Amino acid sequence: MEMVGRHLFNSVALIQGHRRVLHLAPPFLVEDYEPVALETCRKGLMQAKVEEAREELENCRACPRDCRVNRLKDVRGACNTGRHAVVSSAFPHFGEESVLQGWNGSGTIFFGLCNLRCVFCQNWDISQKKQGWELKPDEIADLMLKLQNETKCHNINFVTPEHVAPQVVEAIALAVDGGLKVPIIYNTSSYDSQKSLKLMDGLVDIYLPDFKFWSPETSQRLCKARDYPEVARQAILEMQRQVGDLVFNSQGLAQKGVLIRHLVMPNHEEEAKAILKFVSDSVSKDAFVHLMEQYRPTFSVGKGETRARTGFTTYEEINRPVTESEIDGLRAFAQDLGLWRFEGDFD
């Protein structure tokens, strides 16, 4: 593991930035914040969570695919992941939201493979192929502690953890026992089971869900999960129930709460508006929102693929970047809804 750990860390050069200053209203300011996993451990509740996580793996319902396979015996379902999580990389990330990356970076641990099949996935080389190492919980915990102690990251950021939520619980328990004391981020597509999210209650400080699509038809076409919209809505409501609106310390670093992402896609303005309205009406007017602009056609888009029911498909409706007018229109719509906390500056 020591050799693997060095490889993961040395694969990305560290970038030194400058501290950001964030002007905060008092309700969104916290000082001397203690990550929730520390309290869970102190109360003697951690072992019960670990045992429940292992039970979930035995008849896997870790995500909405409900494969019911015994992953403790390394049987693989839709996500193609068995007993141990696949870790593709671990490093201080400076491409996350400013309130997460700070000046030392967000300590990202990218999990390989996925429970969705997004035709435009920008990380398809690790989400649809097995690229990385199958690591045991203690090895993942070791990575977490290295990110905290050696590279001084502000948080631990689990990327695409939906299908390995039980393994995440095991790793968190060991890392806390080993001295972890920074906030934990759960960075997800929002295709999460309620069972797994309840396991995360008392372990995760910051939820970072990407709400992708509003309609079942679009979801089936673009991520091959017709139930995605309803699952995502319920998942985000549960996240909000657990940790509430995003709050920061005086240095402008997020400490606890929900930060909702939406990847803006071409020709999907109405779906984006429906998602923003859901956030405003059902989550919180004070929700922190990031309208992401970095969509680009990749993976199966333009190149095409053969689908069982529709034949050869190239997804022409999303085969271009988003336009500035599409972004500006959604920003204005979000503000008209009363949303006001955004990543980046809105004029």
Going by the annotation, the residues of the binding site for [4Fe-4S] cluster are 114, 118, 121
Closest to 261 measured CA to CA, from 298, 209, 220 = 209
Q: What is the DSSP letter of 321?
A: P
Closest to 57 measured CA to CA, from 82, 79, 35, 89 = 82
Contact present, 49 and 203 (Cβ < 8 Å): yes
In three-state secondary structure terms, 227 is coil
- Which amino acid is residue 251, in one-letter code? Q
- CA distance linking residue 198 with residue 213, whole number of Å: 23
Q: What is the DSSP letter of 282?
A: I
Annotated binding site: 114, 118, 121
Closest to 345 measured CA to CA, from 127, 40, 49, 98 = 98
Contact present, 8 and 87 (Cβ < 8 Å): yes
**Cα–chain center distance at 278:** 19
